Structure 1
Amino acid sequence: MSIFSRVVELIHAKTNAVLNGMENTDETLDLSYKKMIGALQDVKRHTADVVAERMSLEQQMIVTQKSMTQSDADAHLALSKGREDLARQALTAKAAATTKLQSLQAAHDAIQIQESKLSDYCVTMQQRIDAFRTEKEVMKAQNCAATAQIKVTESLTGIGDQMGDAGAALQRAKDRTDHLQAKAAALDSMVATGVLSDSLDSRTQVEKELDSLRSGSTVDDELAAMKAAMAPVPGT
């Protein structure tokens, strides 16, 4: 395969992908349905024209048949009156009417066949449209359900924009909280070890430690005194 052919295939693939992404399935189905309805209406209008033409031929056939009957009656009347010349003219008119009737009948038979075919086609087309409408609605419902499922899944998994942003914000908040807690613990440790001191406390580190020992000793002495006072006296 040449490089040019490969490039053409890639362009076609990209174009199809773009078109698929832009296409609204529901709108496409509805548009196809409307086109089918329009085509059916055209066929029905054409069928109506054929029916009108058939009825016009039938009317002409009735008039021609009456003309034939009248010419035949006129021929009999003229001949009974001894007017063979008039009888001949009447029979000639009858023959012309007979020829016309045959032509009308042939045209009528042909257009009736066409009308029958068009009527059958209308029925078949209507059945297909009904089936397409049902399938269209089912497919639209399935597309709606699938789209909803995708959105829910994307939201739950964080793929979607809204839940994804919320998840990212929550993670950032957690990271910040962890950082602040670690910083607070570090500061407490530094204060405890004397690396940092209270700016309002002027004592040195040594003085602070001694005061802590004194406080602890005072508490211990007081606790021992309380125990001794509460201890039972022997012999009582």
Structure 2
Amino acid sequence: MSILGRVADLFTAKTHKLLNALEDPNEVLDLSYEKMLSGLQETKAHLADVIAQQKSLERQITTADHEIAGAEDDAATAVKAERDDLAKAALVHRRRAMDNRATLEQALNAILPQISKLTDYQQRLQERIEKFRTQKETMKASYAAAQAQVKAQQSLTGIGERLGGVGETYQRAEDRMLATRDKADAMDSMIEQGIVNDPLDKRSSAEKELAALRDKHAVDDDLAALKAQLGPKVIGSSSSAGSLPKPEGEAKE
């Protein structure tokens, strides 16, 4: 295959793909239906023209019949009056009317089959249009249902254009949350180890440890002072309050 042939095939394939992407089945069905209706209207117009010709020929044939009858009457009247010249003129007129009538009848017989065919074609085309209209509405309803089903499935699976990045967005958010949490845990560990200090606290690590020890001893001293202040009675009563009473027999002994 030549280069031009391959380019032509490629262009045709691209064109068909673009048309398929732009083509809406509902619009195509409506357009086809409109074309069929237009064809039916044209058929009706042609049939009306042919029927009009039929009526015109029938009217002319009727007129020719009147002329023939009148010419025969004129010829008979001329014969009775012994006017052969007038009788001959009437018979000539009768002959011409008869020839004209034969021509008109021949034309009428020629268009009668056309009228029959156009009438039959119109009836079949109208039935086909009604059938296509029903099929069109059914197909449009099925297409709408299929579209709704596809959109629902896309919403559930996240495949659609609007929801296509939901899974990735959720994954990125989860990764960012985990990274932030790990960073917070690392900061807590560094603060506990003294690697990171409060910028407002100017004490060294040793000073902080000493302060923690002083706080611990101070709490122990406060507890001992509280016990000394309450005295041994309070402490004894508190310790005996939890013991069980002795039975009455043992108490008498």
User: Helix, strand or coil for the counterpart of 2:196?
Assistant: coil
Whether the aligned pair in 2 keeps the contact of 1:33 and 1:129 (CA below 8 Å) is yes
Q: Aligned AA for 2:131?
A: A
Query: Quick one: distance in 2 between partners of 1:19 and 1:234?
Result: 101
Amino acid at match of 1:160: G
2:222 is aligned with 1:207 = no
Partner Cα separation in structure 2 for residue 10 and residue 219 of structure 1: 94
Letter in 1 for 2:63: V
Q: What's 1:27 paired with? A: 27
How far apart, in 2, do the equivalents of 1:124 and 1:90 lie?
51
Percent of aligned pairs with the same amino acid: 40
Q: CA deviation at 1:59?
A: 0.7
Amino acid of the residue matched to residue 36 of structure 1?
M
Aligned to 1:103: 103
Structure 2 residue 121 is matched with structure 1 residue 118:
no
- The one-letter code matched in structure 1 to 2:87 is A
Instruction: Note closer, same or farther for the CA distance 1:175–1:5 as it changes in structure 2 (3 Å cut).
Output: same
**CA deviation string 1:106-133 (max 9, x = no partner):** 1111112111111111111112222222
For structure 2, list consecutive stretches of 5 or more residues without a partner in the other structure.
Answer: 227-234
CA distance in 2, matches of 1:220, 1:180: 42
Structure 1, gaps ≥5 residues long: none
CA contact (8 A) 1:78 1:87 kept: yes
Aligned-partner Cα distance in 2 for 1:136–1:180:
58
The question of whether the paired residues in 2 share the 8 Å contact of 1:155 and 1:161 is answered with no
| Cα 1:220–1:83 shift into 2, 3 Å | farther
The letter of the residue matching 1:38 is S
Q: Answer yes or no: is the 8 Å Cα contact 1:71–1:93 preserved in 2.
A: yes
Aligned partner letter, 1:97: A
- How many Å apart are 1:20 and its aligned residue? 0.7
Match of 1:48 in 2: 48
Q: How many residues align?
A: 234
| Cα root mean square deviation, aligned | 3.2
> Any residues of structure 2 matched to 1:51-200 within 5 Å, and which?
51-199=51-199
Q: Give the AA of the match of 1:232.
A: S
Max radius of gyration: which structure? Answer: 2
TM-score (norm. length: structure 2): 0.77
